[in-house]
């Protein structure tokens, strides 16, 4: 479809597609190379009174601790990443695809990257599908093997990105992180809390505070 539009001089859709691909590449490098929210040694992790004002359900016996690896005071919801060798504020997970942590500073951009990548993949799948004309012959398979393989790979990547985006949006709506969701029983400020998730302030407010 894009090739036919280009041949007819209709360059708007091919141009938009190219801009979306370029945007996804730029977002990838931005999220991959930026500081995800590393805790600096000179930072003071807020005291327990401050945290109690933000989270009234937090038990008073929870003490802010010093990281046993990099020896910095860990703010609440921070975690040490063994791969980055740094503590990350509001640590979500270490993503091998971007080779960087997803944390306080780049989580929103990571969601934007996933959303834009999903649009590119869906459009790419439609473009690949438009070039396939199925015939039950070995000759057809030889001529269309690359295109068919590309289409199947795009479908697989689309499913992976879609599931990842949906799971992250669900966790954001609950104001929790992947690390907190997976390791709830091992995190002191969650294990000793009266509520299952003391950070949850309702779906709308959770989404507003994350994105805005």
158 — pLDDT class (breaks 50, 70, 90): very high
Q: Mean pLDDT for the chain?
A: 83
Q: For the chain, which residues make up each domain, given as ranges?
A: 1-36+97-211
**What's the mean pLDDT in 172-178?**
94
187 against 171, higher pLDDT: 171
- DSSP reduced 3-state for 81: strand
Main-chain dihedrals φ then ψ at residue 101, nearest 5 degrees: -80, 155
pLDDT of residue 76: 86
Active site residues: 95
Sign of CA dihedral 21, 95, 197, 48: negative
Strands 86-88 and 100-102: unpaired
> What's the full length of the chain, in residues?
212
Contacts of 44 (CB under 8 A, 6+ apart): 73
Mind listing the pLDDT tens digit for each residue in 64-120? Answer: 678 888 888 888 899 999 999 999 999 999 999 999 999 999 999 999 999 999 999
Percent of the chain with pLDDT over 90: 50
Mind listing the pLDDT tens digit for each residue in 30-70? Answer: 999 999 999 987 655 444 444 444 454 555 555 667 888 88
163 — pLDDT class (breaks 50, 70, 90): very high
Mind listing the pLDDT tens digit for each residue in 118-133? Answer: 999 999 898 888 777 6
177 — pLDDT class (breaks 50, 70, 90): very high
pTM beyond 0.85, yes or no: no
């Amino acid at each position: 479809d894009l090739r036919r539009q280009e041949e007819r001089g209709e360059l708007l859709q091919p141009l938009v597609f190219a801009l979306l691909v370029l945007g996804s590449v730029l977002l990838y490098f931005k999220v991959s190379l930026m500081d995800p929210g590393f805790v600096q040694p000179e930072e003071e992790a807020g005291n327990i009174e401050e945290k109690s004002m933000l989270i009234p359900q937090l038990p008073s016996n929870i003490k802010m601790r010093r990281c046993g690896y990099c020896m910095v005071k860990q703010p609440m919801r921070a975690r040490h990443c063994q791969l980055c060798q740094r503590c990350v504020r509001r640590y979500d997970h270490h993503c091998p695809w971007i080779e960087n942590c997803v944390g306080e500073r780049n989580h929103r951009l990571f969601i934007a990257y996933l959303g834009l990548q999903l649009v590119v993949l869906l459009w790419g799948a439609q473009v690949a599908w438009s070039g396939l004309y199925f015939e039950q012959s070995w000759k057809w398979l030889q001529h269309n093997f690359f295109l068919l393989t590309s289409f199947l790979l795009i479908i697989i990547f689309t499913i992976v990105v879609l599931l990842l985006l949906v799971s992250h949006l669900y966790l954001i709506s609950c104001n929790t992180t992947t690390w907190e969701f997976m390791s709830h029983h091992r995190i002191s400020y969650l294990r000793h809390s009266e509520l299952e998730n003391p950070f949850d302030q309702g779906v709308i407010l959770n989404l507003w505070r994350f994105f805005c």
